[in-house]
Structures are given as C-alpha cells and as structure tokens.
Amino acid sequence: MLIFRQLFDPQSSTYTYLLADSGEAVLIDPVFEQVRRDAALLAELGLKLRWTLETHVHADHVTGAWLLRRRLGSAIALGAASGAEGADRLLADGESVEFGRRRLEVRTTPGHTSGCVTYVLDDESKAFTGDCLLIRGTGRTDFQQGDPRVMYRSVRARIFALPERCLLYPAHDYRGLTATSVGEEKRFNPRLGGDIGEGDFAGHMNNLRLPHPKQIDVAVPANLQCGRPADERAEAAEPDWAPLTYTFAGVWELQPRWLEENPHAVQVLDVREPAEFEGALGRIRGAVLIPLGALPERVAELARDRPVVAVCRAGSRSARATAILQQAGFDKVANLAGGMLRWRAEGHPVEGGAA
Ligand SMILES: N[C@@H](CCC(=O)N[C@@H](CS)C(=O)NCC(=O)O)C(=O)O
Ligand SMILES: [Fe+2]
C-alpha cells in the first residue's frame, strides 16, 4: 500500500513529499533544516530512504539531499539539465525512479528553471510539479534561465496532458493551499488556464516584479552541490551527551537502559504528583520531584550545567516538561521513553514502591 505524506517547511513555504511502498521511501524536495524531522518520520514508519528527488535547483532554501545521504545512505537524483554536481543519478525525460513496487516517472518541465522536472506517479493519480505549476499560480520565470513561453509549453504539453483527475502537488504554496488537480487548473488557473495564450501568459509573468528570494545567494550555490554546505560543519549539531532519539512529535527521547547504566551523568526530574512519587510504581534513585504544574516557577531548582532527564508515569507529562525546560533555556534535556511504566516493566531498579 502506498504511504504518502505532505510535509511543510514554514520558513520557505516548501512542501516535501514522502512516498513509500514495501518499506522503501523517496522524499521529493527535502529541506536542509527539516532533515531531523524527516529522518524521525522515516524511522517511526519503519521506512528505508532510497532516493531524494529534486524538482529543480531551488533558489529559496537548501535541499536536505546531501545531509540525508550522509545520515541515511539515500541516493540523490535530479533532472539532467539541472547543472548540479554530486548527484548519484541525473534523470532524463521518460526515466523512472523505483521504490518498492511503485515508480515515479520523470517529465522535463522547464520554464521556472531550465532543469525543472515533474514526477508522475505510475498510475497517474498524483504528480509533483515543483515550481512549474503552482495551485492557481505558477513559479516565477525571472531568474535561473526562467522563460514564460517555455513554462507555458511545459504546463500545456506535459502537465495538462495528464488525466483530469490527476492530483497535483507543488513545491510551494504561499497561502497554505495543499493540492489541486489537472482538471481544476485547466479551468481555473488565472495565469494559463482556459483560453489564455502563450503571449498572454508571458505578459502576465513579465510584469510580476517580485523581490528575489532572501536565501538565493546561499541556496543556489549549495543546491548546485546537491545541498552540500560550503562549510560542512554548518550542519546543526546533534546532542552528544547521550544517545538520544528525536521523534516526529518533536521530543528528544532517552532509552531507560542508558539511564540505568549512566546514573550520575544527569539529573533525573520526576514531574508526577507527590502521591505518585511515593506510590506503588516507585521512583528512580536520586530523582528530584517537581510536579509538572509547578515546574515553570521552580526551574531554578535544577542545575543548568547538567543534562536533565524528565520522567513521569507514562512519558506524556515529562514530554511537556522537556518543552518547558527548553523554553527556560536548558539545552540538554530529554524525555525518559515510556516513563516509570516502562522503567518498571524492563526491570530497572527503583526506590520505594511496591515489590
Ligand atoms: N519571499 C520568498 C520568495 C520565494 C520565491 O520567489 N519563490 C519562487 C520559487 S523558488 C516562486 O516562484 N515564487 C512564486 C511567487 O512568489 O508567486 C523568499 O524570499 O523565499
Ligand atoms: Fe524554485
């Protein structure tokens, strides 16, 4: 069964798409700053990332392709006309990229840039149009060899040639719209739908007068290297004080076993109510009790120079505690995965509690 997710980067209004089948995934247009999030989702869904696919060399954000390859071993592919270096595969018109039992077909759709491609799912139920066709709009054509007449022909001959029911997913939307269809855009696209001709479209596009993307001077050179930063150390530092897991929910988690083996490396913060702390589940030796409701007022009781591991009954309240601590400026914070329930179930030592 096809797995499909639409992910959003609020900074650049970029959509990243996850498609997967039989345990194998592709990401279309991943964003550098969202690699940690995307890797967490892949791990939670039990997916192996085979490919990162670019619709084009982006001007407004750096792709996550290089960083994902480094972290997860995925291969990088993008259009042959992109001019990018360092890809594992350069895609020509009509070629396919496979994942599980499914595949995406490559259609060259230049116009926003000369190297733009659209990826069409094998059954033509979905297509990923990059910055060629947007929802009731189009990508701009005023830089990176953009050309409105070329874009018009790409849309009309390559995208509008798909079945009307085919859902279209762009690389951006600046109003929060998420998807459209070939039938809808043929009728309602205000720039090139209906009877609008190539000259009309060029007239519209040549008068947009948009400011250049804020990131263009950083993004284009990095993306021409598939997202390899000029300074490789620019990669966001991962916490190294313990083997933490980042969840798609946005929480740093620590496994119970490591805490049992490294009891003096951290301060354990128990955020349950006093009766629970004294109750049947027991508590972790040395844990400091600050009930969650009192934590915002009592953060000063915790040392700022030692990592904090938050714990509660099942891991929910302590997850909230990690967010409160991060807001209060603590940078080494983690949630004890599964809380006291899992700590007990796995037989780790407790103080107090029922035998
Ligand atoms: N304000 C945005 C502008 C982004 C931008 O220009 N996006 C390009 C795609 S790379 C586009 O085609 N935009 C179409 C539009 O803004 O109508 C930024 O600085 O990043
Ligand atoms: Fe773009």
Question: Residue 58: nearest ligand to its CA?
Answer: 2
Handedness of CA 344, 347, 351, 352 (dihedral sign): positive
Is the CB of 56 within 6 Å of ligand 1?
Answer: no
Is the CB of 83 within 6 Å of ligand 1?
Answer: no
Is the CB of 105 within 6 Å of ligand 1?
Answer: no
Report the pLDDT value the prediction gives residue 295, as an integer from 0 to 100.
98
Report the pLDDT value the prediction gives residue 269, as an integer from 0 to 100.
98
Is the CB of 12 within 6 Å of ligand 1?
Answer: yes
Question: Residue 175: nearest ligand to its CA?
Answer: 1
Between the CA of 125 and the centroid of ligand 1 the distance, in Å, is 27
* Cα–Cα distance for residue pair 314/47, rounded to 1 Å: 26
Question: Residue 55: nearest ligand to its CA?
Answer: 2
Is the CB of 213 within 6 Å of ligand 1?
Answer: yes
Report the pLDDT value the prediction gives residue 230, as an integer from 0 to 100.
84
Residue 111, sorted as left (phi over 0), alpha (psi -120 to 50) or beta, turns out to be left
Nearest-CA residue for atom 3 of ligand 1: 213
The segments of the chain whose pLDDT lies below 50 read none
252, two tokens: 């740093």
Report the predicted TM-score, pTM, of the whole model to 2 decimal places: 0.96
Report the pLDDT value the prediction gives residue 232, as an integer from 0 to 100.
75
**CA end-to-end span of the chain:** 46
Report the pLDDT value the prediction gives residue 297, as an integer from 0 to 100.
98
Report the pLDDT value the prediction gives residue 233, as an integer from 0 to 100.
64
Instruction: Express each pLDDT in 141-185 by its tens digit.
Output: 999 999 999 999 999 999 999 999 999 999 999 999 999 999 999
Mutate to test the pocket of ligand 1, among 12, 29, 140 (most ligand atoms within 8 A of CB): 140
Between the CA of 228 and the centroid of ligand 2 the distance, in Å, is 18
Report the pLDDT value the prediction gives residue 235, as an integer from 0 to 100.
66
Mutate to test the pocket of ligand 1, among 15, 154, 174 (most ligand atoms within 8 A of CB): 174
